[in-house]
Structure 1
Amino acid sequence: MAKILISPLGSGSLDRNNSATRKYRTAKYQIDGKDYEKSFIASVLYEHLNLDGIIFIGTVKSMWEEVYETFCQEKNVNCDENYYCQLADKIAQLDYRSPLDSLDLSLIESVLGAKSRCILIKYGIDQAELWENFDKTIQVIDSLEKGDELYLDITHSFRSLSVFQFLTVTFIQELLSEKQIKISGVFYGMLDVTAELKYTPVVDLNPLFEITAWIKGAYSLKNYGNGDLIAELLEKQGETTLAQQISQVSQSINMNYVNAIKQNSTTLKSSLAKPSPSKPFNYLRGILEKFAEKFAQKSTRSAIPEAEYQLELAGWYFENQRYATGYITLAEAIITYLCELEGKNPGSENDRNTMKEFLHHPNNRNRELAQLYFQVNPIRTAIAHALIDKKRAGVGSAIDNAEQYYQKAKQIFKTKTFL
């Protein structure tokens, strides 16, 4: 397992003492209370974090010659003056139109070490170049070994490239989860406040990755009703009880255990009434409150029939694009409704089978409820038994009709009759 830094490389500014050369001005960087007098923040992080390698990402105009000279000095390697001058002269002749193979950076890579690389990218002045840079970054991350720790420096280079690089690494972290690559830090050298503070603070922006995790969790919760990631994030913040309750509700939903959904929603509703110190979660609280209020156990006086509860749950599944579970729940809600009308026990398998036969009776099969069941149940059966049947209605048709079936059942249930 190696600790690798990805650092964008800018073009620097002209040396005040020699207008023919470029330099990153030396700054007094401060990180974790320690001071480092260096020009490259990558050099600071390399020493402070005891890194195994650096992946420099830059354009053909970036300060590759200065990287070479600086790390030759720091690693006590003889600097080839001819290579330095040739590289500087070559870079001076290049611009945004130059091909990426215009520079030979192999000597710099040999100085940096086996775990280090120099990657040339485009300026990113249009979408085509941004996506080309995206591909380059993915190839870099894909070359890492399982279990490597990744650090990100976004201090230098074009601001657009630093932001794009951050988002790319965030995206890749999800794609390469099997590699178990951990992003351990995102650092920014705040050169903007150097004059005021008399030093340059190096800030760890790792909370940015936490925010992206909350964004993903919020999307999963809002669009699919899955609160597992939110529960995981709350657990990390010490909100153990709330995290467990959200997880239990999610598990109940995923298994479609109706009684468990009801019980766990009731418990969660009580906990959500209490304030939480987690600021990200407080912005998501309303989504969970709405669900818990809808599916929690009601008082005896305000309790709704079991069939209506199942029907509302089916509607929620359809709304959240969980169509398979929605169809299973809708079909069962219809049978529960019949049991309630006929004074049968909805929890009895025999009684439920009797009601299914009841629907097929010649006197009943043309009723609206029976016709609805005959439309819904074949879809439920295909889902529940994973049937391969080319005669079955297509997936698109089943999805398109889901809301219509739900609304039809809702109209029938309100009549308290078979229609």
Structure 2
Amino acid sequence: MAKILIAGIGGGKKKKGAGYNLADYYIDSNENLYENRTFITSALEEHYKIDKTIYIGTVGSMWDELYLHYVGELTLEDEEYIDKLENSIIKANEKSNISEIDIERFNNKFNGKVEAIVTKFGINETEIFENFNLIMRIGEMLNDGDEVYIDITHSFRSNAMWMFLIMNYVTDVLDKKISIEKITYGMFEAGKDIPLKDNRLKKRTPIINLKVFYDLMKWIKGANEFKNYGNSYNLLELIEDNKIKNNVKNFSDGLNLNYVGVIKQNIKTLYNLYNQIGEIEGPAKLIIPNVIKNFLEHFKKSEKDYEILLELASWYFVQKKYGMVAVNINECIRNFIIDVFELQRDAKNTGLNIKDHFFYSQRKLNSTKYKTELEKKEYRLCRILFKSQEIRNDVSHSLGERTDLNNDIKYLEESIEFLKDILYDKRFISYYENKYHNGLLKK
């Protein structure tokens, strides 16, 4: 495990011998004061005991000053190298090639302690993508367990965007198990001028922590995953209130396992939680209510098991989880029959009786030449049960027999809309109850 600082380095050198102004930096309070620093990174390295610093800059960044800062005692070769760097920096513009800076020599000199990445100015889309490839090398420099500190004080304003992009890439795409400890900014505009003997001024500048922006981004990402996919696991890492955390986790687990009983129970819990949400503080107060409201709106009409299963099918369709759509459509129809005829769900022959009922009903309706509107709907209900069963079996048992994907997906979508029409239709439910009032399989 190492402490890694990633920082931008600015430019601004217009003539030979010019350098950065000195500044005093303090972290949290004046008790943590670091005086006469050329680079803010020197204060951060000392305060947080950084093991390695990675710099990002352009050809015009002050690599000569940075080399001088780290090198210690100068040799003749060092002086020649610094002079060469300075000449390249002064001439640098947006057309400069990154090869004009011999950054390999810089990195070899401070191998393991300091590493520099030279990028283009990023003035167009092509350069931005080229910079992306260069900066993403940082992912190779980080290891599981590393603690990362980011400073966005110097260099182009776009560097702050790069820093956030880097962290998302490393944690989400490369799946590195790192932690973002601080995102620092030397706020010169809030600094105090300190007069020097030669009538020059230096700034006593606070270093502030902007990690809250990264945390807010994680909140938004977690909320999006929960709202759109039912996965609360990134969100749970951020929620401090144990009651909210447990309720959200149970609801999410129920969705992912398709446990209707758990979902049904937690819908009621979420209603209560939504009414109490004003008691919590921080980002959760702004984000959690909106996410919970989304689920409550989706399941607001659902009281019976078959209604919940139908809404789950609809929700899974939006997520393009078509296998789960078929499962829930099939179970929705079966639970509709269980509810209408008040069957014992766990009775030995319930499932077989339901299947036989639909087989008999479909066969009889198929032979009926002139069907009423309600009979046509019943016949379609039978067909949906068997067709969804075919899709479900192919998915569940990995049969690989079905290849007409687009038509199956369209069929599932149309089936959801049809079921929403008839299963909430009191006229159809009455028709069904009256037709089979003598028993499920009575001829």
Q: TM-score category by the smaller chain?
A: 0.7 to 0.9
The 5 Å alignment of 1:373-392 reads: 373-389=385-401, 391-392=402-403
Can you list the C-alpha shifts for 1:122-164, whole angstroms capped at 9, x where unaligned?
A: 0011111111111111112223233222211111111012322
Amino acid at match of 1:287: V
Q: CA deviation at 1:13?
A: 4.4
Structure whose CA Rg is larger? 2
SS at match of 1:83: helix
1:190 alignment counterpart = 187
The 5 Å alignment of 1:13-412 reads: 13=13, 19-33=15-29, 34-37=32-35, 38-73=37-72, 80-177=78-175, 179-195=176-192, 199-234=204-239, 238-274=240-276, 275-284=278-287, 285-292=289-296, 295=299, 304-348=303-347, 350-361=349-360, 362-364=363-365, 367-389=379-401, 391-394=402-405, 396-412=406-422
SS at match of 1:199: strand
Unaligned ranges ≥5, structure 1: none
Asked whether the 8 Å contact 1:77–1:111 carries over to 2, the reply is no
Can you list the C-alpha shifts for 1:320-365, whole angstroms capped at 9, x where unaligned?
A: 4333222211101111222334443344351222111221222145
Amino acid at match of 2:188: L
State which drifts further: 343-352 or 53-62: 343-352
CA distance in 2 between counterparts of 1:306 and 1:141 reads 48
SS at match of 1:151: strand
Asked whether the 8 Å contact 1:6–1:152 carries over to 2, the reply is yes
SS at match of 2:120: coil
State which drifts further: 141-150 or 330-339: 141-150
State which drifts further: 115-124 or 140-149: 140-149
Can you list the C-alpha shifts for 1:237-260, whole angstroms capped at 9, x where unaligned?
A: x30111011001111111111111
Asked whether the 8 Å contact 2:164–2:214 carries over to 1, the reply is no
State which drifts further: 37-46 or 85-94: 85-94
Of all paired residues, the percent bearing the same amino acid is 31
**TM-score in terms of structure 1 length:** 0.88
Asked whether the 8 Å contact 1:68–1:111 carries over to 2, the reply is no
CA distance in 1 between counterparts of 2:408 and 2:283 reads 37
Asked whether the 8 Å contact 1:317–1:323 carries over to 2, the reply is yes
CA distance in 2 between counterparts of 1:312 and 1:145 reads 43
Q: CA deviation at 1:111?
A: 4.6
Amino acid at match of 1:180: K
Asked whether the 8 Å contact 2:103–2:118 carries over to 1, the reply is no
Asked whether the 8 Å contact 1:61–1:92 carries over to 2, the reply is yes
State which drifts further: 103-112 or 43-52: 103-112
CA distance in 1 between counterparts of 2:6 and 2:206 reads 19
SS at match of 1:184: strand
- TM-align CA RMSD: 2.5
SS at match of 1:170: helix
The count of corresponding residues between Structure 1 and Structure 2 is 402
State which drifts further: 104-113 or 306-315: 104-113
SS at match of 1:370: helix
Sort the Cα spacing of 1:228 and 1:2 in 2 relative to 1 into closer, same or farther, 3 A: closer
CA distance in 1 between counterparts of 2:26 and 2:143 reads 30
State which drifts further: 264-273 or 243-252: 264-273
CA distance in 1 between counterparts of 2:132 and 2:306 reads 51
Can you list the C-alpha shifts for 1:152-208, whole angstroms capped at 9, x where unaligned?
A: 11111110123223323223221232x322222111111122247962111111112
Asked whether the 8 Å contact 1:10–1:63 carries over to 2, the reply is yes
CA distance in 2 between counterparts of 1:206 and 1:304 reads 43
**TM-score in terms of structure 2 length:** 0.83
Can you list the C-alpha shifts for 1:226-275, whole angstroms capped at 9, x where unaligned?
A: 222222210xxx30111011001111111111111111222232222112
CA distance in 1 between counterparts of 2:165 and 2:48 reads 23
2:198 alignment counterpart = none
State which drifts further: 247-256 or 264-273: 264-273
CA distance in 1 between counterparts of 2:33 and 2:340 reads 78
The 5 Å alignment of 1:1-16 reads: 1-13=1-13
CA distance in 2 between counterparts of 1:20 and 1:267 reads 69
Asked whether the 8 Å contact 1:147–1:181 carries over to 2, the reply is yes
CA distance in 1 between counterparts of 2:164 and 2:12 reads 21
CA distance in 2 between counterparts of 1:207 and 1:365 reads 64
